[in-house]
A and B are shown apart, each in its own frame.
Chain A
């Protein structure tokens, strides 16, 4: 059997395993929206840990992050830096969200905010923002999977087929089992990708340079030494500015816990304690970014000139002498990274699209069964859209995704104020969010207009907070009954009416 056939067989086995696990896992939850979207609010620490970890570390972790280290050097430290404090707000906000979610039956972030701020418009705006962020995100995951399988098979499996195979599996298990499939597959995928990352991150520097320190010393002694000068290089190869690095860390840290597919996992936790413990343990997951970056650094001197830099990992795998079985396992690990984010995003996009985008616009209430049918329909439609962009379209997806990061950070003031600032009003929230997104988008498309070379999200946040504060104080506050659940969690009465 030729090497690529061994590698592909292992990837194929992995896909079959994940498919089986995903479909099987759905049998324990109720056939309801709560079951499909929030896993009946029963998730424990281990599953939740991997769901939060794997949802965030996507194919970007296996392809993009080593690509950053490979081409931009110390700039890649930014990826570890923002995660250091990025998850901390979730320790406080997550349990509060979980409590009101349980009391009122919320399963998405926008549902909660729309209730707190008494605004359907807000829900629709948040749904639109989520979908605009999710489709390119999912597209990149599919592209990553396709790229990996085609590089590793020497082109025997074309990119369209690789993406189709991996995401066909994702589509089936998300369609069948919803949240439970994501929980259980992400646990297996997370373990797998962590093992692979640590193996490669320690093995490659050792075999190519004789160790980690010798590797960095060799880079520092070469003509590429400039890349180790913090904050590294910008995308065009010139030194990155401190203002650019610092503001990118801040915006990403603020937005980190606000990603709607991550935030809505608060509603899946079985208790506050579970959710808090998950956040506490989270940094142990993030440590796996260290070997991930080492993989990228290992390629700098050994294989110069790989373009685009995102392909450095598959390139390394085809160049080094490694048994095809190991290469197969590594590829499956990288596929796991892509699919474990892809499934979460797909599931969130469909759930949010229905609950926050379509349902508030309809006059008549929808039955639970009807809602699940709609969500499943949207799962198929979202996959098809992302697949179209991944395979047939040449639209600049990466730019759209970078813009979305600044956009997602704009949700932070709304969530924070929902629990800690009773005076915040719906008009203020909506005006602040729109101002933030507007300013962020303006400086994204016209970067030369920025007064200082800071990340556009910083300007967005400044505008957002200023408008949010001003409009809130100028409009009448919401009545106490609505606010009580948010500001006084201990007063959450069991007889609260369920939000429609």
Chain B
């Protein structure tokens, strides 16, 4: 990119999308994040609000919320593993 003053893009700029495997990882992570966000609010969460079955003693609606927390944890671990190591460490 050259340094002309008038080439400031109008849209969003997301670095790191040039690398194909990185792009795939970011997309997959974004999809999981949006899914877990949606799963915890209307209109998806009302489908999962039964008391039964109990999971580890928790009502299903409670376990559902905790379950998505675990899903996000796994997604973050996987994303972290695809990140290039940082030379500062």
- Which residues of A pack against B, CB within 8 Å? 74, 77, 80-81, 83-85, 88, 91, 205, 211-213, 215-216, 220, 228-230, 242-243, 245-246, 249-250, 253, 270-274, 276-277, 279-280, 283-284, 286-287, 290, 293, 420-423, 473, 477, 479-480, 483, 487-490
Query: Please, which residue of chain B has its CB at the minimum distance from the CB of A74?
Result: B61
- Bound Cα distance from A232 to B5, whole angstroms: 55
Q: Would B12 and A283 count as touching, CB distance under 8 A?
A: no
Query: Distance (Å) between the CB of B23 and the closest chain A CB?
Result: 14
Q: Would B89 and A273 count as touching, CB distance under 8 A?
A: yes
Please judge, given known A-B contacts A80-B66, A228-B51, A422-B13, whether A243 and B76 are in contact too, CB under 8 Å.
no
- Bound Cα distance from A213 to B58, whole angstroms: 6
Q: Which residues of A contact B45 (CB under 8 A)?
A: 230, 246
Please judge, given known A-B contacts A212-B58, A287-B69, A422-B9, whether A271 and B89 are in contact too, CB under 8 Å.
yes
Q: Would B42 and A487 count as touching, CB distance under 8 A?
A: no
- Which residues of B pack against A, CB within 8 Å? 3, 5, 8-15, 33, 36-37, 40-42, 45-46, 49, 51, 54, 56-59, 61-62, 65-66, 68-70, 72-73, 76-77, 79-80, 83, 85-86, 88-89
Q: Would A279 and B76 count as touching, CB distance under 8 A?
A: yes
- Bound Cα distance from A276 to B41, whole angstroms: 27
Give 4 closest A-B pairs by Cβ, nearest first: A212-B57, A246-B41, A273-B86, A230-B49
Q: List 16 A-B contacts (CB under 8 A).
A: A81-B65, A91-B76, A228-B59, A229-B49, A243-B42, A246-B45, A277-B80, A283-B72, A286-B69, A290-B66, A420-B13, A421-B12, A421-B13, A423-B9, A473-B10, A489-B15
Q: Would A84 and B72 count as touching, CB distance under 8 A?
A: yes
Q: Would B62 and A74 count as touching, CB distance under 8 A?
A: yes
Please judge, given known A-B contacts A84-B40, A283-B70, whether A242 and B46 are in contact too, CB under 8 Å.
yes
Q: Which residues of A contact B72 (CB under 8 A)?
A: 84-85, 88, 283
- Bound Cα distance from A243 to B41, whole angstroms: 9
Q: Would B5 and A479 count as touching, CB distance under 8 A?
A: yes
Of A85, A213, A220, A490, most buried by chain B (CB within 10 Å of CB) is A85
Of A81, A277, A279, A290, most buried by chain B (CB within 10 Å of CB) is A81
Main secondary structure of the interface of B (DSSP, over half): loop
- Bound Cα distance from A284 to B70, whole angstroms: 8
- Bound Cα distance from A77 to B49, whole angstroms: 11
Query: Please, which residue of chain B has its CB at the minimum distance from the CB of A205?
Result: B57
Q: Would B8 and A480 count as touching, CB distance under 8 A?
A: yes
Query: Please, which residue of chain B has its CB at the minimum distance from the CB of A69?
Result: B62
Q: Would A216 and B57 count as touching, CB distance under 8 A?
A: yes
Query: Please, which residue of chain A has its CB at the minimum distance from the CB of B37?
Result: A85
- Bound Cα distance from A45 to B11, whole angstroms: 35
Q: Would A276 and B83 count as touching, CB distance under 8 A?
A: yes
Contact of A253 among B15, B37, B70 (CB under 8 A): B37
Please judge, given known A-B contacts A85-B33, A423-B10, A480-B3, whether A213 and B57 are in contact too, CB under 8 Å.
yes
Q: Which residues of A contact B56 (CB under 8 A)?
A: 212
Contact of A81 among B11, B40, B58 (CB under 8 A): B40
